[in-house]
Amino acid sequence: AQTVTQSQPEMSVQEAETVTLSCTYDTSESDYYLFWYKQPPSRQMILVIRQEAYKQQNATENRFSVNFQKAAKSFSLKISDSQLGDAAMYFCAYGEGPGANSKLTFGKGITLSVRP
Amino acid sequence: EAQVTQNPRYLITVTGKKLTVTCSQNMNHEYMSWYRQDPGLGLRQIYYSMNVEVTDKGDVPEGYKVSRKEKRNFPLILESPSPNQTSLYFCASSLLGGALGGPGELFFGEGSRLTVL
């Protein structure tokens, strides 16, 4: 079974600084997708960024970017110019390719706090 | 507005009293799923549905039932709730296969906080 590991339960960053959240996963598949979801105190799950395993180029979305290392099965999220609104729980998630049930396997999450 | 709507948002009930958490989406998504979120465990899939009348178990289906009689609705049923089902529940939907052929972006409801005494 696929597993997703987020080993750091909590992290803190100074406003305007850069922070990297770590995620590793385990799979025997070659075709899969990786996601980072943000869960603010409102509990709403918000998609931050998505990466296709077949793409070598790392995904970016404004201040959010990933470092995808397929051989190492590593998928870290970098948040640049951190803002107070970035404070939330962040979940790394794994999903498989076409034909799969679209199920996402989530990590346990990491709580990010932003210091003003 | 595209959304997934869950009700109730908060519920306190007692052991054994049947309850249903409703989920409805207005995006014509084929795929719908239920997850539960527990501290230190992340989100775990309970059941999913690929289309009307097609449902299957996720990772933690024990104690739950679902039905998919209409494309837009996917209720979660707890026939005899127990305290270990106290949790935060999320319904989610997506296009089957997604725009890029992989799992589509999951759109989540706002969550239902269930407490079973």
3-state secondary structure at position B83? helix
DSSP state of A84: G
Most B CBs within 10 A among A103, A108, A111, hence the mutation to make, goes to A103
Q: What is the pLDDT of residue B106?
A: 84
Integer angstrom CA distances of residue A35 from A86, A107, B26: 17, 11, 23
Alpha-carbon distance A58 to A34, whole Å? 11
- CB of B111 within 8 Å of a chain A CB? The answer is yes
- CB of A36 within 8 Å of a chain B CB? The answer is no
Question: What are the chain B neighbours of A45 within 8 Å (beta carbons)?
Answer: 90, 92, 106, 108
Of A6, A96, A106, the CB nearest to B103: A96
pLDDT digits (tens, 9 = 90+) for A33-68: 899 999 999 999 999 999 988 888 999 999 999 999
Q: Do B103 and A103 touch (CB under 8 A)?
A: yes
Q: Which residues of chain B have pLDDT under 50?
A: 99
- CB of A55 within 8 Å of a chain B CB? The answer is no
pLDDT digits (tens, 9 = 90+) for B54-72: 899 999 999 999 999 999 9
